[in-house]
Amino acid sequence: MEKRLQWLRWGWVILLFLFVFIPHGCDSAKRYTGTYVAVGEGEPSQLETILELKDDDNGVWTTNENEVPFRWSVKGKEIRLHTKEGGVITGKISDDTITVTLPGDKVMTFKKRHAY
């Protein structure tokens, strides 16, 4: 009986160690939530393009003309925007920048809009 209690204690200690001291393998996508504004090179466009990444893995791609809802996910430094129509737009994400390649090899870069 004493050995069983000792094994139970050690089991809890090991379990606690695994959850507290070993970093989790997945990158927390929640740190990327927020509003991102397209930044362009050259002449400024009349259309403002905004990406909004929400906490619930949903998002909205907004221009002056329309809004396109999507679901988003991050794996490593890659972001995937899954549209309701079934398309997937992939890009690279860092702390405050998203770069995506659209059909036709058009590259768009978005910078995170910080609240001050």
pTM of the model: 0.70
For residue 22, give the DSSP letter: S
Give mean pLDDT, residues 12-35: 65
Average pLDDT over residues 69-90: 92
CB 49 within 8 A of CB 37: yes
- pLDDT for the residue 43: 54
Give every CB contact of residue 113 below 8 A, 6+ residues apart in sequence.
34, 35, 36, 37
Which domains occur in the chain, in start order? 27-113 (2.40.128.370)
90 within 8 A of 80, measured Cβ to Cβ: yes
In whole angstroms, give the CA distance from residue 110 to residue 54.
15
How far from chain centre, in Å, is Cα 89? 13
d(CA 61, CA 38): 11
With cut-offs at 50, 70 and 90, classify the pLDDT of residue 114: confident
User: Exposed/middle/buried for 66, CB within 10 Å: 0-12, 13-18, 19+?
Assistant: exposed
The reported pLDDT for the residue numbered 10 is 67
